[in-house]
Structure 1
Amino acid sequence: MKADCLLIDCHVATLVEGAALYGAITDAAVVIANGRIAWVGSRADLPAVEGAQVERLDGRWITPGLIDCHTHLVFGGDRSAEFEQRLGGANYEQIARAGGGIVSSVKATRAASEDDLFASAMGRLAGLKATGVTTVEIKSGYGLDRETELKMLRVARRIGREGGVRVRTSYLGLHAVPPEYRDDRAAYVDLAIDDILPAAHAEGLVDAVDAYCEPIAFSTEEVSRLFDRARALGLPVKLHADQLSNGGGAALAARHRALSADHIEHATEEGVAAMATAGVVAVLLPGAYLMLRETQAPPVDLLRRHGVRMAVATDCNPGTSPVASMTAALNLACVQFRLTPEEALAGATREAARALGMLDQVGTLEPGKAADLAIWDISRPAELCYWLGKPLHHATYVDGRLA
């Protein structure tokens, strides 16, 4: 077998479903050729390899590169003042209705140049990469006009070219009603659906379409219009669903065969069952749950009972989840939502890939998939969920190249 790189003296958590815990292989070897995984297994079964650079990893563990499948990484300014307000007793809805929240980030994002947005996002991306992330989903939604939404999506594409990670973009035009449309909501919905989305799609800036379905955001009818337009353009959809209330978001995501329904703290059993039937992934976002000091956790037991796949993401954003560490998200998912470490790690690899429609490319360590690997200074995979703040990441490969 001809190869470019051979990794030995290591252990591997393949995260392949149905295998041993974590899909673990001890005393393993990984063969990389042309940016893909050519072979992975026990070193005792390693076939003859020609031409490969051999890397000895001194007993370290390898996992698939982690996947952050829900972020708002590109934005202007910050909202640390609102953090203080929440600590003083104000809740998310009160801040939003007073003109804060998403709208305050819109103002800062509109004022920022593409270079400014790129530079600030790269700083946050550094935190994700330092915790083993190789694929990032990035949403728009802080522009809420044609110029700025396209600007955000262009920056996201630039991060994919220059940031050393894979990037998937999501158009989130139905995130909030901008101030200039406060008295003509319907006109903004028309703009977001009939003007901005087609323009972004025509420029090749959109991989999926997202929306925020809540009483303080957009209705199921408005979101359905957006999703119908997305489908007409051949774009998959996903949804911020049932975060603050039971608005039927999980069921709406299921009706539209969404890739994922994200947050879902208030989803009902009926909504969960619909997600299971439709194959919708539940993306759990423990950073937002922590920062908003919520008390109703996602219905994890219902998700397990109905066989709904669970992904974990940071929800990195300026207002409700200023989290730029994937391993922190893993810890919080275990501590707050009672995921097992294996569920959490699968949620940041295999199920996160599924939530982005990328499971055929990344998310597990299997022959034929991209050689996106994270190498860790740990003695067992559970440490990735156990430590909070301890540096564990040793190195990352993206497309078979050492990042």
Structure 2
Amino acid sequence: MSPGIDLLLRNVRIVTCTDDACSITPPAFLAVLGGHIAGLGPMSQLDPAARAQREIDAQGALLTPGLIDCHTHLVYAGHRAREFEMRLQGASYEEIARAGGGIVSTVKLTREAVTADLYAQSARRAQQLMAHGVTTVEIKSGYGLSLKDELKCLHVARELGEHLPLTVRTTLLAAHALPPEYAGRSGDYIAHVAGHIVPEAARLRLADAVDAFCENIAFDLLQTRQVFEAAKRAGLPVKLHAEQLSNMHGAALAAEFDALSADHLEHVDEAGVMAMARAGTVAVMLPGAFYFLRDTNVPPIDLFRKHGVAMAVATDCNPGSSPTTHLPLMMNMACTLFRMTPAEALLGVTRHAARALGLAETHGTIELGKVADFCLWDVDHPAELAYTIAASPLRARFHGGRDHLA
């Protein structure tokens, strides 16, 4: 081990994750230099004379990769508690949206919010994610729905990553809903998204990817294709909200464009799953929205397993259908509601979540040379992370090798 190590963890039990399973090492050490993992191995191989600027005896705590929330709508203003009441009284997601509620109601509040207030509201949610072990988060726009306001949301997301100990990946989701000023003119709006918003977000380097909501209450396949073609011209990868409420065959379209991920997927068919498998597109499970909307159509987990499609798990943090910042709770829901295994759930918020953000080379596993993002947990077995419903056994969270006590 080279001298001048920044951080040395002793007596940790490291969770190592392959594509299929997770295992635990015997007591081990981990060394950090320059924000990256510079050494790791069994305690028997650690030089007794090894020293570091900061040393921690973990006393057998479990160490996992830092958790990655690969699908959030974190930047928005206000809340939609009234719609929650309406839904309990029988109104459907579609009925609320068609009545002028839903996404468009949050758009109004977000457009009206000054940047400082929007940042403050969003930072509180980001800090809640971090308190549950999240070290990397994807943040979508989509509550501005105009060039000015979409860029405002992306700026706020970038600022969160600059000011908080959190890695932020931004996704442009201008094709989220039809803004009121374009009522009855969805084609014109998509032309504006493809011709102006996508190129400008790319030019300003505010977006790491482009997303769209392909659904019967949002945008169709042809319109989604226009957005994806604009993203391709701008050199940006794509993601897609696909098959949440119906089978629009969006997953197959996403795969055609080598999408990083297709998300929700409650109604995807086997052809769509097979297309995703061929493209290496990750399936992102969003059990919070499934639960909150009281859906009954479970994503086809067995088909994803059968065809070798990697499954990620995320909060879908948003004001209308998944108002949560508790990623470990989503692991529990992925197991209880979707029948994923605890190992699949952990892979879904680490290794496979990194793939869904295009970060597999640097994040998501504990390996030499990777970014030193990891968490210490006071648990005996990784299954406990999905087993626990509310309390968090997080002892400490490390971002770039710097620790933040839980």
Superposition TM-score, scaled by structure 1 size: 0.98
- Secondary structure in 2 matching 1:301: helix
Instruction: Provide Cα deviations, 1:193-227, integer angstroms capped at 9, x if missing partner.
Output: 11111111111101000000001100111111111
Equivalent pair of 1:72/1:139 in contact (CA under 8 Å): yes
Amino acid at match of 1:37: I
Q: Give 1:3-402 correspondences, 5 Å limit.
A: 3-17=5-19, 21-47=21-47, 49-402=50-403
Instruction: Say if 1:128 and 1:324, in contact at 8 Å, map to a contact too.
Output: yes
For residues 46 and 288 of structure 1, the distance between their equivalents in structure 2, rounded to whole angstroms, comes to 46
- For residue 23 of structure 1, report the CA deviation from its aligned partner: 3.3
The one-character-per-residue Cα deviations of 1:152-178 (angstroms, maximum 9, x if unpaired) are 000000000012100000000100000
On the 8 A contact 1:16/1:365 being kept in 2, the answer is no
SS in 2 for 1:395: strand
SS at the partner of 2:139?
strand
Asked if 1 retains the 8 angstrom alpha-carbon contact of 2:8 and 2:51, the reply is no
1:52 deviation in Å?
A: 4.5
* Residues 104 and 143, structure 2, Cα contact 8 Å, conserved in 1: yes
**Matches of 1:241 and 1:44, distance apart in 2:** 49
In the alignment, structure 2 segments of 5+ residues that lack a partner are none
Q: Deviations over 1:72-127 (max 9, x none)?
A: 00001110100111111111000000000000000000000111111111111122
Give the aligned residue type for 2:14: V
**Amino acid in the other structure paired with 2:37:** I
List, as ranges, runs of 4+ consecutive aligned residues in structure 1 with deviation greater than 4 Å: none
Q: Which amino acid aligns with 1:49?
A: A
Q: Is the 8 A contact 2:190 2:226 kept in 1?
A: no
Deviation at 1:51, TM superposition (A): 3.8
Q: CA deviation at 1:53?
A: 2.6
Q: What is the CA distance between 1:276 and its match in structure 2?
A: 0.3
- The one-letter code matched in structure 1 to 2:9 is L
CA contact (8 A) 1:220 1:252 kept: yes
Distance of 1:69 and 1:137 partners within structure 2: 5
AA matched with 1:31? A
**d(CA) in 1 for partners of 2:110, 2:324:** 19
Aligned partners of 2:287 and 2:334 also within 8 Å: yes
User: What do the CA deviations read for 1:2-51 (whole angstroms, capped 9, x no partner)?
Assistant: 22111012211122446xx5132121111111111012222122356344
Task: Give, in whole Å, the separation in 2 of the partners of 1:51 and 1:103.
Answer: 53
TM-score of the superposition, structure 2-length normalised? 0.97
How many residue pairs match? The answer is 401
Q: Distance in 2 between matches of 1:78 and 1:50?
A: 50
CA distance in 2, matches of 1:230, 1:26: 46
Q: Give the SS at the match of 1:204.
A: coil
CA contact 1:15–1:63 (8 Å) conserved in 2: no
Partner SS, residue 155 of structure 1 = helix
Deviation at 1:58, TM superposition (A): 2.0
Instruction: State the 1:183 CA deviation.
Output: 2.5
Contact 1:17 1:23 in 2 (8 A): no
Distance 1:283 1:51 in 2: 39
- Among all aligned residue pairs of Structure 1 and Structure 2, give the percentage whose two residues are the same amino acid: 51
**Could you tell me whether the CA contact under 8 Å between 1:171 and 1:210 is conserved in 2?**
yes
Tell me by how many angstroms 1:348 deviates: 0.1
Letter of the structure 1 residue corresponding to residue 23 of structure 2: G
| Aligned-partner Cα distance in 2 for 1:23–1:161 | 34
